[in-house]
A and B are shown apart, each in its own frame.
Chain A
Amino acid sequence: MIWYIVRRLLQGIPVFFGSTFIIFSMVFLTPGNPVLRMFGDRTPAPEQIAALEAKFHLDQPFLTRYFLYLGDILQGNLGTTYAGQSVNEILARTFPTTLRLALLAVVIQLAVGVLAGLISGLRKGGLFDNVTLLVTLVIISMPVFVLAFVAQWIFGIQLGWFRPTVGAGAPWSDLLLPAIVLAGLNMAYVVRLTRASVIETSQNDFVRMAYGKGLSRGRVIPVHILRNSMIPVTTNLAADFGILIVGATVTEGIFNVPGVGNELFKAINRGDTPEIVSIVTILVIVYVLVNIAIDLLYGVLDPRIRYVK
């Protein structure tokens, strides 16, 4: 197990350097002078340009600038927006809200998704199964912003069950609707994956053996079928998390949740490149860490992979 953890952490290093390098290169390779873009239509004085170029290390060669950028990130200095706000401050203010939203979404997604998937899988071909398959198919085909608007319109405006946008301080009750929307898409995938994996696990010889040695259904289903079916669901959480990040950007924007995604949403709309790059970098780093965490969890869930290469 110890080697598994060490190896997995070591594998994260090139991924960290590689992904930050790619983001940096994308910005670097962009045609046009970024300083000029900061000023929009105005034409700054040459000394103003020179000062800003020096400030953003634009006068340095490519690799030097990459390492300066990397150094900044590692020191926790994420730079400023065009408007001069510190990205660190923005993140410190918005991150807790996003974390709460994401947590709520993951809980909903797993609780509802696994339960529905389990029932579907155990009663394959039944009414519940067919309805679930249909509903998840419809949810999967709705882009997250469509889902968000539909939810906002039906539950927020027409039925009035929820506030259509999140109020000050983002109380849990206001976060519920955006969290359900955010959970929706992944939930559909979790349902389908759990279902498929429950069906597959049930056909295993060890399940037959579990019945054969006298266990009751109430024991075989949670201990042997569900437990094993959770392995693919867990590994897929990494991909789910990618969807979650993008979904959070859109959902927070639509429901006006004061979170990181909303900041990114606004930065995109303003065309604030430094802020976009900083936030994306942070999100990618979080994503890499979450991926490693999920792989370690996978190692805990499946004893086989701790030993074989």
Chain B
Amino acid sequence: MTALEPLLSVEDLQVAFKTQDGFVPAVRGVSFDVYPGETIAIVGESGSGKSTTAHAIINLLPGSGRITGGKVLFEGRDLSKLSRHEMEGVRGKEIGLVPQDPMNSLNPVHRIGFQVEETIRANGLASSKREVRKRAVEVLKEAGLADADQRLRQFPHEFSGGMRQRVLIGIGLSSHPKLLIADEPTSALDVTVQKKILDHLESLTAERGTAVIFITHDLGLAAERAENLVVMHRGKIVESGPAREILQDPRHPYTQRLVAAAPSLASKRIQSAVTSGASLESAEVEGADASFDLVSVAERTADTAVADAPPVIEFREATKVFKIRTGGPRSIPFTAVDKVSFQVPRGSTMALVGESGSGKSTAAKLLLRLEDLTSGEILVEGKNVAELGKQELLKLRSRMQPVFQDPYGSLDPLHNIGNTIGEPLAVHNVGDLKSRKARVREVLDQVALPETVLTRYPNELSGGQRQRVAIARALALKPEIVVLDEAVSALDVLVQAQVLNLLADLQAELGLTYLFITHDLAVVRVIADYVTVMQKGMVVEQATVDEVFENPKTDYTRELLAAIPGAGIQLGA
């Protein structure tokens, strides 16, 4: 189109990791160009090779990784052929890096100022002590940190995640590099913080004409932040091109799947596959696109289905105060849940939404009686949970089951799947050994896992499969209520969509009531009927999903909605 030369040109890049069984390829022939000043996004699920590609460009592969073929041409120089010393000159100065995990990317034992100043000195931006200090203050100010002077004297652990990421962005851009590699820069942060930081990053790079390689697992976010996309799958590029075009007209079947499954792009609640005719099994076997298409399913209106059922769960001004121990001799009270009230009608899904520290998970633990209330009441089917005796509590527990967030921490690694799912049956002395086994097989079938997993151990299964096992364990006692605490947050999009579909099916089939705790409003739209938005322990807004999405009443909710990546993108379909 123009005479412009690409700034970075990756040609047929191959990266492999050395293992006991020889070299295992992680990136298999990736080629793309980055032009000066443009932003391209590399999108893919975990294990797609997107981060490895980025690290290969600046030659920072972890110990066992090697570039086994191809070229990385940066302004005509092949970076993969540079000596260590030459590469040290390129990093920081010409190619900046904003790393993935702000919590671990600053050295905890050095002050912020020290870590900014050493960057300035290493890249020769200033030499005298005063100059360096002055430049460091500038860097933090540009990164959007007020009172930068004082901040320089603090340690990383005194900073929030968002502030740390601002520092890292400041460091990455401190020497005005021509290219910035941003490796999932905000995936560990709350959505509203994410939006602010990305806006800031975008204005800084636009102002300076910095080219950006933006790596993310979130298709919506990628499309929102980059002109061009590179979609990776299993170490290869499956599709690349202008962001809007790919989103509106995905051509590769994988991209089509990804677009269909991205909750941030969906606008409707999942209608159960049971009622819509498609069975989950066909999805499992063929990976058929239809059952994953969250967008095209018909809307099930919340109010008609469940409005007049009596509440199964009721919070009445539930309050939980923790005592936080400070460094000194006293402890200060901290109100994690502050007079929270809501009702959940039978057979419906209530989403409890909030950012970290909003008290949503504590609320779930209060309901499950894993924590005790400070004041207020929680009623389950009209009975006050706090007043239950030992026997009644046991009975309640058989009717109310949790599924937790971490797919790697939610199953005991020393128990096989059969025993794990059978444990609640054994605890509650349900039936005999034979009938228990039959029940285990039954729930396993309900979560669409083959019987062969019965004798397997958790670490042989993927995150999604573990989460399905956790759901199966929760279902074993035929509960009426399932408390889902960030149950799908750690999963890749496609797997997440699959589990969400499963949950919708189970709800339709078994008449379950869900309390769905999440930080992700995008997911709420596809699974919930009602929403309670929480902030700092208090309820900010409460309504049906449609009301909240179409007509949010408070600023905070509006802010949350605006922060959903890709929400404003019109899909062609």
Using a CB-CB cutoff of 8 Å, which residues 305-346 of chain B contact chain A?
325, 327-329
Q: How far is the CB of B179 from chain A (nearest CB, A)?
A: 12
Q: In the assembly, what is the distance between CA of A309 and CA of B107, in Å?
A: 21
| Residue B357 is within 8 A (CB to CB) of chain A in the complex | no
**Cβ of B91 and Cβ of A228 under 8 Å apart?**
no
Query: Given A212-B58, A214-B93, A214-B175, do A206 and B106 touch, yes or no (CB 8 Å)?
Result: yes
Number of A interface residues at 8 Å Cβ cutoff, please give it.
Answer: 30
Query: Given A3-B327, A205-B101, A208-B60, do A215 and B107 touch, yes or no (CB 8 Å)?
Result: no
Q: In the assembly, what is the distance between CA of A306 and CA of B55, in Å?
A: 35
- Interface-lining segment among B117-125, B507-515, B542-550: B117-125
Identify B105's interface contact among A209, A215, A302, CB under 8 A.
Answer: A209
Q: How far is the CB of A176 from chain B (nearest CB, A)?
A: 34
Count of A-B contacts with CB under 8 A? 99
B contact residues around A217 at 8 Å (CB): 84, 88
Q: In the assembly, what is the distance between CA of A306 and CA of B88, in Å?
A: 35
Using a CB-CB cutoff of 8 Å, which residues 107-131 of chain B contact chain A?
107-110, 118-119, 122-123
**Cβ of B108 and Cβ of A302 under 8 Å apart?**
yes
| Residue B160 is within 8 A (CB to CB) of chain A in the complex | no
Query: Given A212-B58, A307-B157, A307-B327, do A206 and B88 touch, yes or no (CB 8 Å)?
Result: no
Identify A215's interface contact among B92, B100, B106, B172, CB under 8 A.
Answer: B92
B contact residues around A266 at 8 Å (CB): none
**Cβ of B119 and Cβ of A213 under 8 Å apart?**
yes
**Cβ of A216 and Cβ of B122 under 8 Å apart?**
yes
Using a CB-CB cutoff of 8 Å, which residues 262-290 of chain B contact chain A?
none
B contact residues around A210 at 8 Å (CB): 107
Q: In the assembly, what is the distance between CA of A304 and CA of B155, in Å?
A: 8
Q: How far is the CB of B80 from chain A (nearest CB, A)?
A: 16
C-beta contact mask, B46-65 vs A, less than 8 Å → 1, else 0?
A: 00000000010010101100
| Residue A157 is within 8 A (CB to CB) of chain B in the complex | no
**Cβ of A214 and Cβ of B101 under 8 Å apart?**
no
| Residue A301 is within 8 A (CB to CB) of chain B in the complex | yes
Using a CB-CB cutoff of 8 Å, which residues 62-119 of chain B contact chain A?
62-63, 84-85, 88-89, 91-93, 96-97, 99-101, 104-110, 118-119
| Residue B168 is within 8 A (CB to CB) of chain A in the complex | yes
Using a CB-CB cutoff of 8 Å, which residues 84-128 of chain A contact chain B?
none
B contact residues around A209 at 8 Å (CB): 97, 99, 105-106, 168, 171
| Residue A224 is within 8 A (CB to CB) of chain B in the complex | yes
A contact residues around B104 at 8 Å (CB): 204-206
**Cβ of B122 and Cβ of A205 under 8 Å apart?**
no
Q: In the assembly, what is the distance between CA of A217 and CA of B60, in Å?
A: 12
**Cβ of A213 and Cβ of B60 under 8 Å apart?**
no
Number of B interface residues at 8 Å Cβ cutoff, please give it.
Answer: 40
Which among B85, B96, B327, B328 has the greatest number of chain A C-beta atoms within 10 A? B327
Question: Which residue of B is nearest A202, CB measured?
Answer: B63
Q: In the assembly, what is the distance between CA of A208 and CA of B60, in Å?
A: 7
Q: In the assembly, what is the distance between CA of A212 and CA of B171, in Å?
A: 10
**Cβ of A213 and Cβ of B157 under 8 Å apart?**
no
Query: Given A213-B92, A214-B93, A215-B88, do A231 and B105 touch, yes or no (CB 8 Å)?
Result: no
Q: How far is the CB of A297 from chain B (nearest CB, A)?
A: 13
Q: How far is the CB of B132 from chain A (nearest CB, A)?
A: 14
Question: Which residue of B is nearest A307, CB measured?
Answer: B327
Question: Which residue of B is nearest A207, CB measured?
Answer: B107
Q: In the assembly, what is the distance between CA of A304 and CA of B109, in Å?
A: 8
Q: In the assembly, what is the distance between CA of A205 and CA of B108, in Å?
A: 11
**Cβ of A211 and Cβ of B91 under 8 Å apart?**
yes
A contact residues around B118 at 8 Å (CB): 215, 219, 223
A contact residues around B172 at 8 Å (CB): 212-213
Q: In the assembly, what is the distance between CA of A206 and CA of B92, in Å?
A: 14
**Cβ of A214 and Cβ of B92 under 8 Å apart?**
yes
**Cβ of B109 and Cβ of A213 under 8 Å apart?**
no
B contact residues around A4 at 8 Å (CB): 327
Q: How far is the CB of B326 from chain A (nearest CB, A)?
A: 8
Q: How far is the CB of A232 from chain B (nearest CB, A)?
A: 12
B contact residues around A3 at 8 Å (CB): 327-329
Q: In the assembly, what is the distance between CA of A249 and CA of B99, in Å?
A: 52
B contact residues around A231 at 8 Å (CB): 109
**Cβ of B109 and Cβ of A302 under 8 Å apart?**
yes
A contact residues around B174 at 8 Å (CB): 213
Q: In the assembly, what is the distance between CA of A231 and CA of B100, in Å?
A: 25
| Residue A14 is within 8 A (CB to CB) of chain B in the complex | no
Identify B157's interface contact among A203, A208, A303, CB under 8 A.
Answer: A303
B contact residues around A205 at 8 Å (CB): 99-101, 104-105
**Cβ of B122 and Cβ of A219 under 8 Å apart?**
yes
C-beta contact mask, A286-309 vs B, less than 8 Å → 1, else 0?
A: 000000000000000111101111
Beyond A205-B101, A213-B171, 5 additional contacts (C-beta under 8 Å) are A203-B62, A212-B58, A212-B91, A213-B122, A214-B119
10 examples of A-B residue contacts, CB within 8 angstroms: A203-B62, A203-B63, A208-B99, A209-B106, A209-B168, A213-B91, A214-B88, A214-B91, A219-B122, A304-B157
Chain B positions near chain A (C-beta within 8 angstroms): 55, 58, 60, 62-63, 84-85, 88-89, 91-93, 96-97, 99-101, 104-110, 118-119, 122-123, 155, 157-158, 168, 171-172, 174-175, 325, 327-329
Top 4 nearest A-B pairs by Cβ distance?
A214-B92, A212-B97, A205-B104, A209-B105
